[in-house]
């Protein structure tokens, strides 16, 4: 029976990590997988997370199960972090999940139960896992235009044209901030127009929030999510703690469902707990507990925010440095978008053969669509990247 299985396509992002590792050249640059790295090339455990872990090791007296939807304390801190007071808290159902990916999967399972015929609309392009996860949950997908490859910016009028054609009850998947893979984001007034359109069409927004704090700041990066949740009768949010708490392998995320009223909240909460139970019984607790401890302690929270802000501003500095170096080398402003984009990624706009040349001739690894992880750079390596980009005629 098992021999009837088909070989699976490799994950193009994760494949790069192995290619890079096996490259024997002494000077090489990994701009592939979206993991934050400091100037020394490390992905450290954040200070506040380490302190919480020490405290937890001392104080934890039991590792018995939590509840099916996870710890209510985690729900509360995450609801506050993501939604602030944008909506009445009695309307919000929540479940801890296995990372942001688990949150997406549980959210889409919930959609499948509520609206089995719904189509999920994703941006063109989007994170490569979105469409396969939608399919795995038994839902159809379609794309709305998003990225203007010529200008490396959002083609907002095309996006609005496509979203106007979405059927009532369909789902629109939006990146809450720091669009992956392009780095191009909507302005707040544009988000207001999207929210208005969603209420007009009766579509359900599903917001993927994987990089809160990596763009313009913790509050700023939540503004679009809050605006949409305040405008629409119901909103699904899949939030990840992997990046902003640096706890990737702990697999910590949450699905937040903003429901029309407190009565609906109870039923949705029951469905989220049931979906967790059917998928993995109880969600993992360790990362969620660390996040809860950090957010509940004023001292740990302040230290976490300071370190997150350092991470954010270091990536912004690298963006500006790269844009400046490229202006100097090419004598043109065509790379100015790098300083305008936000988050870990920018899509450079290089052709596949140019991406291959960067790798083969310069040891620079980026995803085939020319997505670069900005955090893979350091002030010392930016000049070499700029030189290589210019040398490849990009």
Active-site residues, by number, are: 127, 208, 210, 243
SS3 label, residue 179 = coil
Q: How far is the CB of 130 from ligand PLP (least distance, A)?
A: 8
Verify binding: residue 34, ligand PLP, rule CB under 6 A.
yes
Q: Is 210 in the site for ligand PLP (CB under 6 A)?
A: yes
**Residue ranges of E strands in the chain:** 29-30, 92-98, 119-124, 140-145, 147-148, 153-154, 171-175, 204-209, 235-240, 252-258, 345-347, 364-365, 371-373
Q: Please, what's the b/e burial string for 152-191 (b: 16 or more CB within 10 A of its CB; e: otherwise)?
A: bbbbbeebeebbeebeeebbbbbbbbbbbbbbbbbeeeeb
Among residue numbers 21 through 50, which ones bind ligand TYF (CB under 6 A)? Answer: 33-34
| Smallest separation (angstroms) from ligand PLP to the CB of 245 | 10
Q: Residue 9 Cβ, how far from ligand TYF at the closest point, in Å?
A: 11
Residue with the closest Cβ to ligand TYF? 34
| Beta pairing class for 204-209 and 29-30 | unpaired
Least Å distance between CB 99 and ligand PLP?
A: 3
Q: Are 276 and 95 in contact (CB under 8 A)?
A: yes
- Residue 214 binding ligand PLP, by CB under 6 A: no
Is the Cα dihedral 158, 160, 161, 167 positive or negative? Answer: positive
Number of residues near ligand PLP (by CB under 6 A): 12
- Characterize the bridge pairing of strands 92-98 and 345-347: unpaired
Interaction of residue 127 with ligand PLP, rule CB under 6 A: yes
β-strands 364-365, 345-347 pairing: unpaired
| Nearest distance in Å: CB 240, ligand PLP | 3
If we measure between CA atoms, which residue out of 330, 314, 308, 322 comes closest to residue 372? Answer: 322
Q: Quote the least distance from Cβ 375 to ligand TYF, whole Å.
A: 11
Shortest CA distance to 254 belongs to which of 245, 267, 262? 245
Cβ closer to ligand TYF: 226 or 251? 251
Closer of 288 and 300 to ligand PLP (Cβ):
288
Residues 169-188 that bind ligand TYF (CB under 6 A): 180
For ligand TYF, which stretch binds (CB under 6 A), given 11-19, 199-207, 214-222, 264-272?
Answer: 11-19
The single-letter DSSP state of residue 176 is S
Shorter beta-carbon distance to ligand PLP: residue 178 or 322: 178
Q: Which is nearer to ligand TYF, 101 or 269 (CB)?
A: 101
* Residue 13 binding result from ligand TYF, ligand PLP, none, given CB thresholds of 5 to 8 Å by partner type: ligand TYF
User: Parallel, antiparallel, or unpaired: how do β-strands 140-145 and 119-124 relate?
Assistant: parallel
The mark string for 98-137 relative to ligand TYF (x by CB under 6 A, - otherwise) is -----------------------------x-x--------
Distance CA 381, CA 368 (A): 21
The stretch among 9-17, 61-69, 192-200, 256-264 that binds ligand TYF (CB under 6 A) is 9-17
Which residue ranges make up the site for ligand TYF (CB under 6 A)? 11, 13-14, 33-34, 127, 129, 180
């Amino acid at each position: 029976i098992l021999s009837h299985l088909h070989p699976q396509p490799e994950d193009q992002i994760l494949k790069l990590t192995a290619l890079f590792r096996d490259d024997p050249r002494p000077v090489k640059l990994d701009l592939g997988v979206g993991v934050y790295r400091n100037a020394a090339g490390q992905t450290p455990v954040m200070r506040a997370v380490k302190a919480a872990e020490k405290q937890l090791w001392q104080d934890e007296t039991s590792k018995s199960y939590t509840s099916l939807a996870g710890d209510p304390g985690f729900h509360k801190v995450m609801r506050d972090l993501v939604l602030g007071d944008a909506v009445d808290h009695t309307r919000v159902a929540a479940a801890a999940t296995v990372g942001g990916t688990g949150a997406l999967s549980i959210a889409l399972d919930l959609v499948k139960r509520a609206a089995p015929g719904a189509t999920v609309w994703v941006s063109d392009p989007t994170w490569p896992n979105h469409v396969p996860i939608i399919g795995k949950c038994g839902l159809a997908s379609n794309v709305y235009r998003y990225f203007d490859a010529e200008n490396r910016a959002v083609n907002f009028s095309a996006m609005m044209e496509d979203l106007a054609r979405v059927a009532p009850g369909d789902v629109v998947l939006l990146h809450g901030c720091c669009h992956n893979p392009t780095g191009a984001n909507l302005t707040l007034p544009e988000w207001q127009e999207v929210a208005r359109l969603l209420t007009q069409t009766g579509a359900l927004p599903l917001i993927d929030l994987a990089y809160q704090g990596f763009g313009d700041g913790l509050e700023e990066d939540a503004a679009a999510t809050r605006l949409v949740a305040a405008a629409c009768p119901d909103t699904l949010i899949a939030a990840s703690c992997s990046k902003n708490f640096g706890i990737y392998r702990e697999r910590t995320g949450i699905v937040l469902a903003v429901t029309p009223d407190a009565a609906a909240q109870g039923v949705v909460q029951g469905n989220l707990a049931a979906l967790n139970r059917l998928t993995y019984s109880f969600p993992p607790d360790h990362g969620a507990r660390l996040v809860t401890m950090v957010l509940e302690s004023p001292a740990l929270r302040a230290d976490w925010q300071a370190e997150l802000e350092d991470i954010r501003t270091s990536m912004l500095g690298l963006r500006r440095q790269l844009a400046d170096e490229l202006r100097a080398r090419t004598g043109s402003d065509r790379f100015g978008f790098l300083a305008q984009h936000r988050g870990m990624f920018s899509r450079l706009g290089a052709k596949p053969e140019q991406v291959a040349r960067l790798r083969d001739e310069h040891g620079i690894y980026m995803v085939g669509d020319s997505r670069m992880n900005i955090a893979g750079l350091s002030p010392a390596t930016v000049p070499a990247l700029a030189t290589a980009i210019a040398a490849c005629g990009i």
